[in-house]
Amino acid sequence: MKEGEKQKTRKIDNKKVKRIVIYIIVLAILLYVLYTIYLLIKEPTNVMTVVEGEITQEETLIGYVIRNEQVVQGKNYKNGMEQIKSEGERASKGENIFRYYSTNEESLKQKIAELDNKIQDAMTSDANLTQSSDMKLLENQIDEKMKNISKITDSKTLTEYKKEIDNLIQRKAKIAGDSSPQGSYLNQLIEERRGYESQLNSGAEYVTAPISGIVSYKVDGLESVLTPNNFSELNKEYLENLNLQTGKVVATSEESGKVIDNFCCYIVTITNSEESKEAEVGDDVRVRLSNNETTSAEITNIVKENDEETLLILKLTDKIEELTNYRKISFDLIWWSDTGLKVPNAAIVSEDDKNYVVRSRAGYLNKLLVKVSRSGDKYSIVEPFDTEELKEMGYSSEEIINYRKISIYDEIIINPDLSKVEE
């Protein structure tokens, strides 16, 4: 074989060797990864750092919102309505909350607008009048109001601004009528405008608040059905027969409004949890709404539906405005919460009716006696025993001195093997 062919053969052999070596390395890494995964699945032993935390016992439920609310509707509800108090705004008893438009209101407004244009034309035609100091002052005030009005979003403030502008225009027109050569013509226009305005105001029907509270235009017809006065009639069948959709926003009425008691409202719900079976009237719980805000509540009524289900009525004195848009909601009922040293339940082992965790420190494993103050589904709140408690449990003075306490930032073992732990 020639020398060139030998070199070519050696190169091919070297490539094969390198390829085989690479395959072996990749296979070894793959086997190591698979073996590690197998060990974790077979016997997981993770380490976790102890931290301050919170645990809760809660459940997600469907609730029906019950309020003390009064619907108000006037005689002219077919004319359409204008809100004086905005949705969610508070009103005092007897205060105007909305009004119905008067008959032919659009026509009257059009005539008033036309007269305003005529009055303005008559005033600007007199050069001497427009140069007077009084007129300039009024015009500056009107201009300032007009600049600000575009920035206003609150309907009540907007209505007040419009009234102020209208008053300024009328004062301007009166000055023009008294001092202008066209005074008689201007006064005639002003009187005609006042006549139309009087018709407009006299034909409007104002509706007042029957009680103090929150104004709402979300009227669903259940205001007299779901009330705090008929709690005794409520049961699962009654509520389900209302055929309400969870989370649906109540439509805004164009004919009526209502005033809601802003001091409290109620949520009625049905649950089959163990906590509900042990609950008592007067117990304090917490409610988390769909916007993730949490508020306190009190259990005011408990009715056993059957062996499994319990009807609860919860009284809320906060976050009432957030519930005005809804009749049927999804919410979280938080039975209790606790804070402290939070550890997984899988890290706690029981021996001789005592609870322990296993701490890993500097390569050594120590079994720590702990007091479990509260347990949830996955986590518990634990704390060390104090000296008096250890004495009551029968520990000697030497054992108490050597007692190892659990503390924040300790590293503890999940699913520990007690056979590997130092006593």
Domain ranges of the chain: 1-42, 48-53+341-420, 60-70+219-253+260-337, 102-203
DSSP secondary structure letter of residue 400: H
With cut-offs at 50, 70 and 90, classify the pLDDT of residue 157: low
Determine the 3-state secondary structure of 423 from DSSP. coil
Query: 28-40: per-residue pLDDT in tens?
Result: 888 877 766 655 5
User: What's the whole-model pTM score?
Assistant: 0.68
> Structure tokens of 204?
């409007």
- Output helix, strand, coil percentages for the chain, rounded to the nearest 5: 40, 30, 30
For residue 175, how many other CB atoms are within 10 A of its CB? Answer: 17
Q: Which fold has domain 48-53+341-420?
A: 2.40.420
Is residue 241 scored above 90 in pLDDT? Answer: yes
The share of the chain scoring above pLDDT 70, in percent, equals 72
Q: Which two tokens stand for residue 98?
A: 């909305």
Contacts of 361 (CB under 8 A, 6+ apart): 410, 411
Length of the chain: 423
Q: Determine the CATH number of domain 60-70+219-253+260-337.
A: 2.40.30.170
Q: What is the pLDDT of residue 194?
A: 74
Provide the pLDDT for residue 81: 87
End-to-end CA distance of the chain: 76
Predicted confidence band of residue 266 (pLDDT cuts 50, 70, 90): very high
Name the nearest CA neighbour of 153 among 89, 105, 80, 97. Answer: 89
Output the pLDDT for position 174.
Answer: 61
**By the 8 A CB rule, do 83 and 252 touch?**
no
Q: Residue 4 has what pLDDT?
A: 55
Instruction: Determine the average pLDDT of the residues in 305-325.
Output: 94
Flag whether pLDDT at 43 surpasses 50. no
Other residues' Cβ atoms within 10 Å of the Cβ of residue 220:
16
> Which residue is it, tokens 């407004």?
109
CB 87 within 8 A of CB 217: yes
Stated as kind and residue range, the H or E segment containing 392 is helix 387-392
Nearest to 112 by CA among 184, 170, 28, 50: 170
Number of other CB atoms surrounding residue 86 within 10 Å: 16
